[in-house]
Amino acid sequence: MALYQEQSLKLYNSMSGEKETFTPINEGNVGMYVCGPTVYSNVHLGNCRTFISFDLVFRYLKHLGYKVRYVRNITDAGHLENDADSGEDRISKKARLEQIEPMEVVQKYTVDFHNILQKFNNLPPSIEPTATGHIVEQIEIIKTILDNGYAYEANGSVYFDVLKFNKDHSYGKLSGRAIEDMIANTRELAAQSDKRNPQDFALWKKAEPQHIMRWPSPWSDGFPGWHLECTVMSTKYLGEEFDIHGGGMDLKFPHHECEIAQGEAATGKSPVNYWLHANMLTLNGKKMAKSTGNFILPEQIFTGNNDVLTKAFSPNVVRFFILQAHYRSILDFSSEALLGSEKGFNRLMEAYHSVEDLPVSDKSDFKLAEWKQSCYDAMNDDFNSPIVIARLFDAVKTINSIKEGSISISKEDRDELKSSMSAFMFDILGLVDAVSENDNGEDKLSGTIELLIKLRAEARNNKNFALSDQIRDRLQEIGIQLKDGKEGTTFSVK
């Protein structure tokens, strides 16, 4: 019997606003689509939180024994600056500013995206299609939507007719927005003069003379609308109806709303059974976003080269910090929170590596089966990673009690405890074993620098300021900056 047949998984479906028992369309198989990045700049930590959240989903579904096809796209064309139907394509703009080809921009930031997620130990998706690789399919679905009467052509551009669609279907059902309110809250813009209604959105845009990225179509040389690519690529690889669609909370409207409309307009079917949305990461109490400049890059965290944190933190600790909050909760980023996560992570790893040395007895006082099921219960409750972590720390308390001799454990239970901790820590939460992490030298470097900081502090206490300054200056020469503060000395790697 597969593990998924023993465990009842519930997902919070954004469409219904309720937790629902997960039943895939085809037993034993899961189709999952997640909106990927627009590759015109470095991925920031807020973006990474979404992808780490869905890596957790992917890992747990695989752990339960499902065969998962995970599709995550790369948006490499057609995404305008204001996420609407005006402005300049972000990739084209970057290419123009740097005087390089758009595909050089795409390649540079796609490589960065993959490198960062690899550092966070994210599993790669099953398929990672690109928008530019599916232009033909996008043109074909536009033809279908036109034939079905839910779109119109105007001066070389094609727009989706939201009001016409809403007469036969329900536009706004995912975000809970009434079409009447949308009409009342919109104004006709000069750039939207080709539209019949302000709510309509582009399926195909005629390219202006200066627009670099363009393809021939029956309507004009132009480019597809941003929303269209996800409809095309999700249905191509997962079918007209599939199980799970994920993305950031900010994509619920208009992007995901438009995806639903396009799918229903083309096939007459609602494309997705379960909509999952990850919440935002905040910095300084505000949403982390490139558009406002309120963001931090993962590499800045790993090196300590930033003005937010007191020291550098490993990808492992940052991942642990993210998973200490439920994926649907707002999470605030701060130095204090990361310091707490680092302390907790180290405590958890230390306890895990001490399990095999625990003394064993003929009997066990530890109710292992109950503890293990409590971990599954947390994951089955909409992937509740903070509760799983709390259960792991319950195990840490038990390990310490066994060391103290206040409770006993059998050899069989001891081995099963280590195996179960490993499954939840490494296979499901996706943490990296601290011993493995030591192999890359990061922790050894940190330990060496901490030792030099202590020696410098002793030199200062002994009024040996020449040695103190020498340690500081030599470290600075090799790119390690010391920072003295009220709570002691911290360092960053430049």
DSSP secondary structure, 346-400, as one string: HHHHHHHHHGGGS--BSS--S-HHHHHHHHHHHHHBT--HHHHHHHHHHHHHHHH
3-class secondary-structure state, position 315: helix
Residue 119, H or E segment: helix 102-119
3-class secondary-structure state, position 72: strand
Q: Residue 490 has what pLDDT? A: 78
Residue 277, marked binder: no
Q: Please give the Cα distance from 453 to 441 (Å, whole number).
A: 18
Token reading at 285 = 């109490």
Angle between helices 385-404 and 368-380 (to 10 degrees): 160
Topology, domain 282-427: Isoleucyl-tRNA Synthetase; Domain 1 (1.10.730)
Q: Please give the Cα distance from 22 to 12 (Å, whole number).
A: 9
- Say whether the peptide bond before residue 254 is cis (omega within 30 degrees of 0): yes
Token reading at 410 = 């059998």
CB 329 within 8 A of CB 279: yes
CB 225 within 8 A of CB 210: no
| Cα-based torsion angle of the residue sequence 378, 383, 385, 390 in order, rounded to the nearest 10 degrees | -10
3-class secondary-structure state, position 125: coil
Q: Where are the domains of the chain?
A: 3-278, 282-427, 441-493
Topology, domain 3-278: Rossmann fold (3.40.50)
Q: How many CB atoms lie within 10 A of CB 373?
A: 15
pLDDT tens digits for range 36-77 = 999 999 999 999 999 999 999 999 999 999 999 999 999 998
pLDDT tens digits for range 100-130 = 899 999 999 999 999 999 999 999 999 999 9
Angle between helices 411-422 and 385-404 (to 10 degrees): 150
Q: Residue 447 has what pLDDT? A: 76
Q: Residue 190 has what pLDDT? A: 44
Q: Taking the model in full, what pTM does it have? A: 0.87
Give the Å distances, CA to CA, from 45 to 17, 22, 82, 290, 317: 27, 29, 21, 10, 13
Q: Residue 189 has what pLDDT? A: 46
Kindly report the CA angle at 112 between 106 and 116, in degrees rounded to 5?
Answer: 145
DSSP state, residue 254? I
Residue 437, marked binder: no
What is the number of helices (H) and of strands (E) in the chain? Answer: 18, 15
Count the alpha carbons within 13 Å of 100 in the hemisphere toward its beta carbon: 11
Question: Residues of the chain whose pLDDT is less than 70?
Answer: 78-87, 184-192, 435-444, 486-487, 494
Residue 259, marked binder: yes
pLDDT tens digits for range 199-252 = 999 999 999 888 889 999 999 999 999 899 999 999 999 999 999 999 999 999
Residue matched to tokens 């509760």: 387
Residue 356, marked binder: no
Q: Residue 61 has what pLDDT? A: 98
- Is there a shared CATH topology between the 3-278 domain and the 282-427 domain? no
Residue 258, marked binder: no
